[in-house]
Amino acid sequence: MRNRFIPSSCLLGALLVAGSGCDTPPTPIDQDFPVELPAPDARGSAAELTAPGCSILTTASVTASGDDGTGSVAANSQDDNLTTRWSGPGKGAWLNMDLGASKSVAGATVVWHQGNTRQNYFVISTSTDGTNFTQAFSGTSALNTSAQTYAFSARQARYVRVTVNGNTVNDWASILEARACAQQTTPPAPTADSGPVLPRLPYLQSVGQTSAIVAFRSGVSCTPFVRYGEGTDLSRTATATAAGWRHAVKLTGLQPGRTYGYSVEACGSVTGVRSFRTASAPGTPRVRFTTMGDFGTGGSSQKAVFAMMNKPEWRGEFLVALGDNAYSSGTEQEFQDRMFTPMAPLLREVPMFPSLGNHEYVTNQGQPYLDNFYLPTNNPAGTERYYSFDWGNVHFVALDSNCAIGLASSDRCTTAAQKAWLETDLAATTQPWKIVFFHHPPWSSGEHGSQLSMRRNYGPILEKYNVDLVLTGHDHNYERSKPMKGDAVAPAGTRGIVYLVVGSGGATLRTFPAAQPSWTAVRDNQVYGFMDVVVDGGTLTAKLITSTGSVRDSLTLTKTLPAVTSTQTSALKASSMETAPGPVDDPARAPAGLRFEKELPPADRLEDVADHDEPAPEASTPAAR
């Protein structure tokens, strides 16, 4: 077994065995060898190791599974000297810190050798007797040379072991310094932003019952971290997996329906604490969210809508966006200047679940949209173009209506694949309420009219699985249908689906080309606004809230919910949310296309929000208009 490491020690001598040659290969030592540490005053003039988020515990002695045979011994990991290291050969090499007595341990901090050029795969475990170890943490190191602290729940332990399962360069373990951490009082949460202003402030993505993503952008390349915890007790830390400019840090170990605070620390920038609420567990009767589309202008009407939406009396637990998020072509700069910048105060605390509009498709069929959002990938294609998620008693489905109208190439999205997934998804959910959202409306009397491709392809599936509400945009107005079934109003005594067009989020409003059709319950093209939707037990209430705060329309749906037994409630489990990783930067080179000479003006003119060419709609029936 020893000989398998000799070639790698020769080839990588410059990296791993500084100052040694390969004429006489080092012989790894496989047995444990306790090393009594020298007294602090015998360690030379080096300053003691400090680490963020770690109250360092004194190590009485240290052991290791082996070393490189040329002086990179276990004791080097405790000498407060960043020019020495412990190096152990082979996957599974470990470093064991003996604290001398059982203590309360809540984490470990590690400074990795050449940590900016290799990522280490590791496990931290604890033991009271030095023989039986329990895993406390596992992960991958961030690409930096700083002390990295890995927190876990406090437990009594005398021994703390770091086991390294190789790294991105080789199978060796190389640690400059390592310490065990005691539970400590967390520094007070910052109340305001400080340091350089982040080019893009934090925004919340894919918030689920047990996890959430905090995304943001930095002005220089670095490996940032997020402090978080319930309320303002930011005692936990999540570190980015790689250095760069575009960051998406995943917070894990959350509980459903709880309020968490967070603060980002990136490249000298610190953001003031903000809070968000995790998704409610299935069985939770009350859910509140907001929704609208056609808003990404960066203009005054958009800002007025979001200012009202962000007021405490109207703020939802999350936002459902119905497409045309960044006018006029969904470019990188349009997302930055016309969506993320004006929406920053809201998106720092309210998660956004978007869908693709036709304007996003103008630029490479929505690629900037996919690069800017971190959305669930719970379909067989592994795409963010369509997805679903649960929040309390409600099942939400986002579709890409551009597939149905012919804007998507077959390698990006097909109607057949999306329909098959939709049917499977709706058939599998056990939530009593079902809401589907996308951009192009199956029922509309606005400028574009009803999109019959969406109605023909998806309407039968929505009706088959008793979808309660369909949310759309595209036409720049508000319209609510009567309960619809097939190509007409649902007959008395039968179940139908209400379709809403909420294209009043900020883009210039448009006139209705004809008189109000008989299937329309309410329509309005005079006000900008959003929908406030509350599901409470067997009642769904949706209100159109104008940018001045008045209620313009109200809808109520009711149903009888099946009884939930105590046994069913106790069996419900919080689920995590798998998301796409997003773009990965070269930490040594700024990504092209992220720096802009000047800010874009608002897209407030009719020509700014005019639609590009689309495939002609199918011929409509009289009822369709």
Tell whether the model's pLDDT for residue 88 goes beyond 50: yes
Q: What is the DSSP string of 388-455?
A: EEEETTEEEEE--HHHHTT-S-TTT--HHHHHHHHHHHHHH---SEEEEE-SS-SS--SSS---HHHH
Cα–Cα nearest to 110, from 78, 66, 156 = 78
The closest of 207, 329, 340, 198 to 277, measured between CA atoms, is: 207
Q: What is the pLDDT of residue 272?
A: 96
Fold of the domain built from segment(s) 200-277: Immunoglobulin-like (2.60.40)
Task: Tell me what pLDDT residue 189 has.
Answer: 84
Sequence-distant (≥ 6) Cβ neighbours of residue 452 within 8 angstroms: 442, 617, 618, 619, 620, 624
The answer to whether residue 82 scores a pLDDT higher than 80 is yes
Cβ–Cβ < 8 Å for 214, 191? no
Confidence of residue 39 (pLDDT cuts 50, 70, 90): very low
Which of the pair, 413 or 576, is modelled with greater confidence? 413
- pLDDT(315) > 80: yes
Q: Is the pTM of this model over 0.85?
A: no
Q: Looking up tokens 């800002």, which residue turns up?
A: 303
Q: What burial letters (b/e) apply to 398-422, b meaning 16+ CB within 10 Å?
A: bbbbbbbbebbeeebbebebbbebb
Helix 452-464 and helix 415-428, axial crossing angle in degrees, nearest 10 = 20
Q: Please report, rounded to a whole number, the percentage of residues in the chain having pLDDT higher than 90.
A: 74
pLDDT at 150 over 80: yes
- Bigger pLDDT: 598 or 136? 598
> Which residue's structure tokens are 């984490």?
107
| Nearest C-alpha neighbor of 87 from the set 99, 110, 69 | 69
What does the DSSP assignment read for 1-19? Answer: -GGGGHHHHHHTHHHHSTT
Q: Where are the domains of the chain?
A: 54-184, 200-277, 281-558
> Which CATH superfamily does the domain covering 54-184 fall into?
Galactose-binding domain-like (2.60.120.260)
With beta carbons less than 8 A apart as the criterion, state whether 313 and 429 touch.
Answer: no
Token pair for 262: 């967070």
- pLDDT at res. 488: 98
What's the average model confidence in pLDDT over 17-21? Answer: 34
Q: Which is higher by pLDDT, 152 or 214?
A: 214
> With contact defined as beta carbons under 8 Å apart, do 502 and 446 qualify?
no
- In sequence order, what DSSP letters do the residues of 441-495 get, joined into one string? -SS--SSS---HHHHHHHHHHHHHTT--EEEE-SSSSEEEEPPEETTEEPPTTS-
The alpha carbon of residue 571 and the mean position of all alpha carbons in its chain are separated, in whole angstroms, by 26
**Local confidence band at 576 (pLDDT 50, 70, 90 cut-offs):** low
Write down the mean pLDDT value for the chain: 88
Under the banding of pLDDT at 50, 70 and 90, the label for residue 529 is very high
**Phi, psi for residue 403 in degrees, rounded to 5:** -60, -45
**What fold characterizes domain 281-558?**
Purple Acid Phosphatase; chain A, domain 2 (3.60.21)
pLDDT value for 573: 56
pLDDT of 14 higher than 90: no
Residue 570 has pLDDT above 60, yes or no: no
- Distance CA(409)–CA(356), nearest Å, equals 14
Question: Which DSSP string corresponds to 130-193?
Answer: SSS-EEEEEEE--SSSS-EEEEEEEEEEEEEEEEEEEESS-S-EEEEEEEEEE--PPPPPPSS-
Q: Which of 45-59, 109-123, 484-498 has the highest mean pLDDT?
A: 484-498
pLDDT above 70 as % of the chain? 88
